[in-house]
Amino acid sequence: MKTILVTGGAGFIGSDLVRRILSEEPDTSVLTYDLLTYAGNLDNLKSCIRDSRHRFARGDICDRERVGELLGSGEVSQIINLAAESHVDRSILGPKGFAETNVLGTVVLLEAAREAGIERFVQVSTDEVYGSLGSEGSFSEESPLAPSSPYSASKAAADHFVEAFGRTFGMDVVITRCSNNYGPFQFPEKLIPLMIRNAMNDEPLPIYGDGLQVRDWIHVGDHSRALLSVLKNGESGGIYNIGSGNERTNLDVVKSVLRVLGKPESLIRHIEDRPGHDRRYSMDASKIRAELDWQAEVEFERGIENTVQWYIDNRDWLESVITGEYRNYYSAWYSGGRTTG
């Protein structure tokens, strides 16, 4: 039986991937390695706890000794690295932690993977490394990297290290770059779950600037399916864009949430814009479609309805992640003139 190490597997996308591997790959075990930061939650893996093919280890990807021990036994043959600080606004408040986890942590994993002779290393990156687009065009895998935020700069730096380990040491590495995900178990600092929670509580919905920024929204299940496909069949050294071609303005997305919940648009508040806010992302995902026969399947309106329903049905989960840390973060973010009115 082969074992895949999924770092960040207690987070939003990582937990979806762990569940998918366990349900679709009967001859595969998963070792989830996660620090359980504010964004990691073992409740996200509740359905896997009793599965004998799943094991959880708590730890930091920056901890070279610990990572070396995990890989040293020879049990793990492949790694998918999703562990990261993932929220752009938090990277504006404190860039250093993003450099530590996203850059240094990736280098630590690469070093340990090389030492252990890991077969394949998949780095889960983001469309944000390409920077911002005007109203026309899409990012291809050849687009230059031009990150705007400390978060995307740290992801771009990690991508460079992954490619360098492939070229210099001949490691089998693959990079994926996906657009904005939504779905169950997403931490309510990100646009869609934040808007769902605020609307459910009849609280104001903070829209940065004019709200006409465009993102290409993809259901998390489509993303995890793409990751599994890249792990199994992606070309060594390759980069794969992942997107659904579902471009929407933030205002449109928020209005869809309000429609599904039957709440009024008067809850919307336009507030000060995010510094360095990228205007538009658009992914050309033709390579993964052609090479790996993958395409997004969840249509946005259906995906949003199911997602809103999930948060209604899982209100306990939603409230359980609202901790003192969350409140401190929001009071820091909304200090200094930024206000929801």
Residue 269: exposure state from Cβ atoms within 10 A (0-12, 13-18, ≥19): middle
Residue 73: exposure state from Cβ atoms within 10 A (0-12, 13-18, ≥19): exposed
**Short-list 32, 58, 70, 149, CA closest to 102:** 149
Helix (H) or strand (E) holding 242: strand 239-242
Q: With CB cut-offs between 5 and 8 Å by kind, which of ligand DAU, ligand NAD, none does residue 250 bind?
A: ligand DAU
CB 132 within 8 A of CB 280: yes
* Nearest distance, CB of residue 16 and ligand NAD, angstroms: 8
- Catalytically annotated residue among 33, 130, 151, 311: 151
Q: With CB cut-offs between 5 and 8 Å by kind, which of ligand NAD, ligand DAU, none does residue 206 bind?
A: ligand DAU
Quick check: 155 binds ligand NAD (CB under 6 A)? Answer: yes
Active-site residue 127, yes or no?
Answer: yes
- Please, which of residues 106-145 interact with ligand NAD by CB under 6 A? 124, 126
3-class DSSP state for residue 125?
A: strand
Which residue in 87, 223, 225, 263 binds ligand DAU (CB under 6 A)?
A: 87
User: DSSP secondary structure string, 148-193?
Assistant: -SHHHHHHHHHHHHHHHHHHHH---EEEEEE--EESTT--TTSHHH
DSSP state of 43: G
Which residue in 3, 141, 204, 208 binds ligand DAU (CB under 6 A)?
A: 208
- Please, which of residues 49-68 interact with ligand DAU by CB under 6 A? none
* Nearest distance, CB of residue 186 and ligand NAD, angstroms: 7
- Read off the amino acid at residue 310: W
- Which residues contribute to the site for ligand DAU (CB under 6 A)? 86-88, 126-128, 179-180, 190-191, 194, 206-208, 213, 215, 250, 274, 281
- Which residues contribute to the site for ligand NAD (CB under 6 A)? 7-8, 10-14, 34-37, 39-40, 60-62, 82-86, 101, 105, 124, 126, 155, 178, 180-181, 187
As annotated, the active-site residues are 127-128, 151
